[in-house]
Amino acid sequence: MGYKQIRVTDELCRSVQGASGMPLRQHETLGELVSIMRAQRGICGLEDLISEERTRHEVRVDGRVLYTFCFVDALMLPFLLRGAPVEVWSTSPDGGEVTASVTKEGVKGSPPGAVVSFGAVRSGDGPTQATLCPYLNAFPSREDFERWAERSPQAETIALSLEEAFDLARDWTSAPVGDPEGGICRCRGLHHTSKVRSCRDG
CATH of the domain at 47: 3.30.450.410
Which 8-state DSSP code applies to residue 2? -
pLDDT recorded at residue 43: 55
Task: Report which of 141, 151, 160, 193 is spatially closest to residue 33, judged by C-alpha positions.
Answer: 160
Point out the residues of the chain with pLDDT beneath 70: 41-44, 175-202
Return the C-alpha torsion angle 76, 77, 79, 83, nearest 10: -140
pLDDT recorded at residue 175: 56
pLDDT recorded at residue 129: 85
pLDDT recorded at residue 90: 98
Report the alpha-carbon distance of residue 149 to residue 159 in Å, rounded.
10
Residue 182 maps to a domain: no
Give the domain range for residue 23: 3-172
Residue 181 maps to a domain: no
Residue 200 maps to a domain: no
pLDDT recorded at residue 195: 37
Q: What is the pTM of this model?
A: 0.85
pLDDT recorded at residue 96: 96
pLDDT recorded at residue 41: 67
Total domains present in the chain: 1
